[in-house]
Structure formats: C-alpha cells, structure tokens
Amino acid sequence: MQFRKSFFPRTFIIFIFIPLINTDDECLNRPDSDFRQCTSHRLNPYNDKTEQERKLWTKTYVSNVLRCSSYCMDDPRCVSYFFNKSTKTCTGHSIMFGNATAASVETGNVFYYFSGVKGYIGDLCDTDADCTVVSSECRADCLNNTSANTFECSEKRCMCTSGYSFAPTEHTCLANCTTYGDFFMRTYLYYISSDTPEPADYSNISLEQCQQHCVQRISPVCRSLLYGSKTLNCFLMGNTKLDYADDKWHYDSYTYEYSYYQRDCI
C-alpha cells in the first residue's frame, strides 16, 4: 500500500520574511538568503511511529511543531521530520518515508515532510519514472530463499542507482563525493567480481562493524563495500560499480547473500 499517494490531510505554511522572493524553490534546494515559503504535509499512517534510517539529529525541549519544522528547514539536508508533542522531541531525516507498516512504535510521534519530496530518495515507487532525483531508480530489497523456493521483495523505494552516492546536501545522486559520510545505500544480493579475488579485509564481523571500518579508512578512501550476511566477510573498496565493466556485476544466485553498499556523500 502506497500511503504517499492518498494521505495529505493536514498542511501548514511557514513564512520567514526576507525581501528576496523565490517561489520556484519550494523546499528542496532552499537558499538561506531567500524568502522561505515551505509547506509541510502530515502523513497520518506514521502517527505513533518512528524511523531510524538517515536520522540527522534529535532536538529536545522543542515547544511546538513549527519550531521543529524550522529546525529541519535550517538544515539543507533535512526533508522530513518527526515531532512528539508529549516528549517535546524533534527528529530530522534526510530522506522520505512511505511504508509505515515497517516503522517502529513511538507513542505521540507525528511525521511531516516538505513539499517537493514526492519521488525523493526513500519514497515508495512503482517504476523508475516515479523517482525524481537525478541518477535514482525504483528498486526493492529482494531475498531469494532457495530452501523455501520463494522470492520475497520489500516494497519498492526510490534509491540512488547502484554506483552513485546519495548527496543529501545537494539533493541528488553523484558518481563521486567531495567528502564521504557515514551512511550507506544497499543493492541487495548483488556484488562485484574480480579476476584476481583477494581475501576479505575482515572476517566474522557484523555489517555495522564492516561499515565502521569503511568510514574509518582514510587512505585509500573507502567508497563502497561488499558484505556477506552468511559468510560474515567484509570487503572494503576504493572503487564503485561505475569503475567496473557490466560483466563484473552479478546477482548472488548462490545465496551467499553478498550485497553491495554504496557510501553516501556528506
């Protein structure tokens, strides 16, 4: 069920008066020097829910939702936010959400997103045409369970095309980052092969540990990684899918559950 298409029941507008007027920008790519007229939409299926993915920050002692919206608007990376009136907390996120059934429970939470993020990274989609970010595509995380003879996929979401890094500040997907960040975008059950296979950089570690090793590696900069959820092997890479020929990109038909993780930009 695609909640994003049918639930837009409440909106409010924030006005900050500065002489220059730019009505084309709306809320993405909002310049600090211009008049800001941003519409926030409430997504009711996310009432009493929360998400941890791409969380930028959490503010405490936030008096009202307008203040929360202001915090998100002041951060160019922020396109959506949760506000909790009871706990007076505000949490900003750099992506859109649409599948509330998979969210965690957080009593009192209400979710809002800015105008202009329909089809943005994280939003639900049916085809690539639904995704509005440059170099993004509509794909699902799929698992081929050969023992049960099933092929299960999550709902499709807009994500950066494999090999491109999500750049939340610039609201696009880039082939190269000036500075790489701490988050990763997965292409599930796909991996890059090599003519001269090398031992794993790390073995018997968790995905979180593998990602942390990638973030901490300075020279050469780690731009992507491969991780096997069955083998627990971690391969750190200074290259990305874009640096390899198409015949090096494979679906993990042997169900070792290797997946490709592209590192985000700052």
Model confidence at 30, pLDDT cuts 50, 70, 90, reads low
Q: Are residues 168 and 246 in the same domain?
A: yes
Give residue 102's pLDDT. 81
Model confidence at 25, pLDDT cuts 50, 70, 90, reads very low
- What is the domain-level CATH number for residue 20? 3.50.4.10
Give residue 140's pLDDT. 84
Assigned token pair, 202:
């790390």
Q: Are residues 49 and 147 in the same domain?
A: no
Q: How many CB atoms lie within 10 A of CB 71?
A: 18
For tokens 């639900």, name the residue: 124
Residue 21 lies in a domain: yes
Residue 28 lies in a domain: yes
Residue 52's Cβ-side half-sphere holds a number of Cα atoms within 13 Å equal to: 3
Residue 258 lies in a domain: yes
Residue 221 lies in a domain: yes
Model confidence at 153, pLDDT cuts 50, 70, 90, reads low
Tell me: pLDDT of 105 over 80. Answer: yes
Dihedrals phi, psi of 62, to nearest 5 degrees = -90, 120
Task: Using a pLDDT cut of 90, give the percent of the chain over it.
Answer: 68
Domain interval for residue 222: 128-265
Tell me: pLDDT of 21 over 60. Answer: no
Q: Are residues 109 and 135 in the same domain?
A: no
C-beta separation of 100 from 109 below 8 A: no
Q: Are residues 82 and 179 in the same domain?
A: no
Q: Are residues 132 and 90 in the same domain?
A: no
Q: Are residues 62 and 108 in the same domain?
A: yes
Q: Are residues 150 and 255 in the same domain?
A: yes
Residue 123 lies in a domain: no
Tell me: pLDDT of 168 over 50. Answer: yes
State how many domains the chain has.
2
Tell me: pLDDT of 32 over 60. Answer: no
Tell me: pLDDT of 187 over 90. Answer: yes
Q: What is the pTM of this model?
A: 0.82
Q: Are residues 17 and 72 in the same domain?
A: yes
Residue 212's Cβ-side half-sphere holds a number of Cα atoms within 13 Å equal to: 5
Give residue 116's pLDDT. 86
Q: Are residues 22 and 137 in the same domain?
A: no
Q: Are residues 90 and 210 in the same domain?
A: no
Q: Are residues 93 and 146 in the same domain?
A: no
Tell me: pLDDT of 144 over 90. Answer: no
Give residue 128's pLDDT. 96
| Domain final residue, candidates 114, 148, 170 | 114
Residue 122 lies in a domain: no
Tell me: pLDDT of 83 over 90. Answer: yes
Q: Are residues 178 and 61 in the same domain?
A: no
pLDDT in tens, 222-266: 999 999 989 999 999 999 999 999 999 998 876 678 999 999 999
Mean pLDDT computed over every residue of the chain: 85
The whole-angstrom separation of Cα 165 and Cα 210 is 18
Give residue 12's pLDDT. 52
Task: For residues 181-194, give the mean pLDDT.
Answer: 92
Residue 13 lies in a domain: yes
Dihedrals phi, psi of 239, to nearest 5 degrees = -110, 180
What percent of the chain is helix, strand and coil (3-state, nearest 5)? 15, 35, 50
| Domain final residue, candidates 82, 114, 146 | 114
Strands 36-42 and 136-139: unpaired
Give residue 10's pLDDT. 53
| Domain final residue, candidates 60, 87, 114 | 114
Q: In the chain, how long is the greatest CA-to-CA distance?
A: 64
